[in-house]
Amino acid sequence: MKNSIINHMNEDHMDALMVLVRHHNGKENVNNAKMLDVDNKGMKILVNEAEEVFVPFTKDTELAEVRIELISMLKTARAALGEEKKTVNEAVKFISEFGSVVLGTVNAENNPNVTYAPYLRHEDKNYIYISKIGAHYDNLRSNGKLELLFLEDEAKAKAITARQRVRFNARAVFLERDEKFGEIMDAFEEKAGSTMKVMRDMTDFHLVELVLLEGSFVKGFGQAYTISENGEMEQLTSDKLGRGHENMK
């Protein structure tokens, strides 16, 4: 697994390594970066083919979880360096207005389940609040994988065939009922109203953080974008349809 992580980052995400080095090591002139090693503490990176630096993870991270940790670190680094993309901000603004989200999960028999749940974006993180009786609960407990769909209301769409929408692959992380739970649920209650005030005390409900991975943003006809795992946006044009059109469905 270590070798696959190293090869993937060096072959496809050298730009991401450069951003992480600039942010975490205070390097100004970074022209290239190559990952040399990775463990649960962080990454050893060769900068400008001359200097080895160490970029630490924010927490002790198993190799199987490195991708998730790197996505989070890169978003933080880009924001600190002022390199957030305007289109990404548009996508974030779009989903932030939603109070619920459509969930696509898979059960133990590999059959798809499409459901929905109350949704909240709070302090740049994404949450749902779900009950044990929902089909998605067991699905997420078993593998933690899901797809999210934020879909424009038909009544507000300029054309029914081109409703604005944002889709993300995501990973579910179940949270404990601690002090942070109370803070998040206060924000949930403010957004969702009195029903959430009642539901927050029901112990069969669980607060789940959604870690966003790759996705897509469709603003209208001819305005489709892919969203990479590190938060970069790229417009989908005719020459890229062969490899990207599935993400736009």
Question: Residue 123: which region, alpha, beta or left (left: phi > 0; alpha: psi -120 to 50)?
Answer: left
Reference 149, options 110, 87, 102, 198; nearest CA is: 102
pLDDT digits (tens, 9 = 90+) for 80-116: 887 666 567 788 899 999 999 999 999 999 999 999 9
Q: What is the CATH number of domain 2-83?
A: 3.20.180.10
Give CA–CA dist 21/49, Å, rounded. Answer: 13
Give CA–CA dist 207/165, Å, rounded. Answer: 24
Instruction: Give the up-direction half-sphere exposure of residue 82: CA atoms within 13 A in the CB hemisphere.
Output: 0
Q: What is the pLDDT of residue 235?
A: 74
Percent of the chain with pLDDT over 70: 92
Where along the chain do its domains lie? 2-83, 87-248
pTM here is: 0.64
Superfamily covering domain 87-248: Electron Transport, Fmn-binding Protein; Chain A (2.30.110.10)
Residue 190 has pLDDT above 70, yes or no: yes
Residue 245 has pLDDT above 60, yes or no: no
Task: Return the percent helix, strand and coil in the chain, to nearest 5.
Answer: 40, 35, 25
The answer to whether domain 2-83 and domain 87-248 are alike in fold is no
Q: Alpha helix locations (H) across the chain? A: 2-12, 14-25, 66-81, 86-96, 135-143, 179-192, 194-199, 241-244
pLDDT digits (tens, 9 = 90+) for 115-152: 999 999 999 899 999 999 999 999 999 989 999 999 99
Exposed/middle/buried for 207, CB within 10 Å: 0-12, 13-18, 19+?
Answer: buried
Give CA–CA dist 126/151, Å, rounded. Answer: 16
pLDDT digits (tens, 9 = 90+) for 35-67: 999 999 999 999 999 899 999 999 999 999 998
Give CA–CA dist 75/67, Å, rounded. Answer: 12
Q: What is the pLDDT of residue 85?
A: 60
